C-alpha cells in the first residue's frame, strides 16, 4: 500500500511523530512518502492509497501550509482513506472543556478547508522549551504549571503516547496489500 504523510510543524514534534509513523509503516512493508507541507508537495494525493495530514495546534490554529494543502486537495482527500492527526498539548488532558476546545479547532479546520477527515486522531505533543523564545517560554511554563506538570529548567518534555501512536499506525494501515 502507498501511504502519503504530509505534515506541518513548528518546533519539530509533529515531524518526530511523522518519522515514527513512517518507520512503523515501512517496517510493516508499506511504501511511504512524507512531506513537510511548508516545502510544497512534489506529488499528487491521488497517487496514494491512504493519506495522513498531521499538524499541531498553536493558539487554536493549525499551520497555514496544512490548511492551504487540505483546501486545495479536499476532493482527492475525500476520495480515499485520509485521516487528520491533530497534535497538541491538550490531547494529553482529561479536562472535558479543553478537549471540547480541541474539537472546535478541528471543526474550524474542516470549515476552512472544505475537507472532513474520515478520522481525527488526537496526539499529545511536547513542551519544547529549548525551542521557545523568552516570552513563549513564559507562556508555556504557565500552561505546564496550570496542569501541575513539572519541567526542569532548560529541558523539553514529551507528552506523546508512543504506544497509542503505534496502535493507530497498525489500525490505519493494516497488513501490507490491504
Q: What is the pLDDT of residues 95-127, one digit of tens each?
A: 788 889 889 999 999 999 999 998 999 998 887
What's the pLDDT at 35? 95
What's the pLDDT at 109? 96
Q: How far apart are CA 104 and CA 117, in angstroms?
A: 14
Q: What is the pLDDT of residues 130-165, one digit of tens each?
A: 887 777 776 767 777 777 778 777 788 787 999 999
Domains of the chain: 2-125+160-173 (3.40.50.360), 128-158 (no CATH)
| DSSP string for 84-150 | EEEEESGGG---HHHHHHHHHHHHHHHHHHS---SEEEEEE-EE-TTT--HHHHHHHHHHHHHTT--
Amino acid at each position: 500500500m502507498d501511504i502519503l504523510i504530509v505534515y506541518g510543524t513548528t518546533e519539530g514534534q509533529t515531524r518526530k511523530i511523522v518519522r515514527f509513523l513512517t518507520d512503523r509503516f515501512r517496517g510493516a512493508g508499506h511504501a511511504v512518502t512524507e512531506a513537510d507541507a511548508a516545502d510544497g508537495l512534489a506529488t499528487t494525493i491521488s497517487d496514494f492509497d491512504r493519506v495522513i495530514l498531521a499538524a499541531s495546534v498553536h493558539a487554536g490554529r493549525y499551520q497555514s501550509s496544512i490548511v492551504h494543502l487540505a483546501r486545495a486537495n479536499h476532493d482527492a482527500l475525500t476520495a480515499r482513506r485520509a485521516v487528520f492527526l491533530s497534535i497538541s498539548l491538550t490531547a494529553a488532558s482529561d479536562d472535558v472543556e479543553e478537549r471540547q476546545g480541541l474539537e472546535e479547532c478541528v471543526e474550524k479546520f474542516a470549515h476552512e478547508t472544505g475537507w472532513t477527515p474520515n478520522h481525527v486522531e488526537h496526539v499529545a505533543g511536547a513542551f519544547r522549551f529549548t525551542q521557545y523564545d523568552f516570552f513563549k517560554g513564559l507562556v508555556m511554563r504557565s500552561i505546564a504549571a496550570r496542569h501541575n506538570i513539572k519541567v526542569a529548567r532548560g529541558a523539553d518534555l514529551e507528552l506523546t503516547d508512543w504506544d497509542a501512536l503505534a496502535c493507530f499506525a497498525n489500525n490505519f494501515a493494516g497488513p501490507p496489500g490491504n
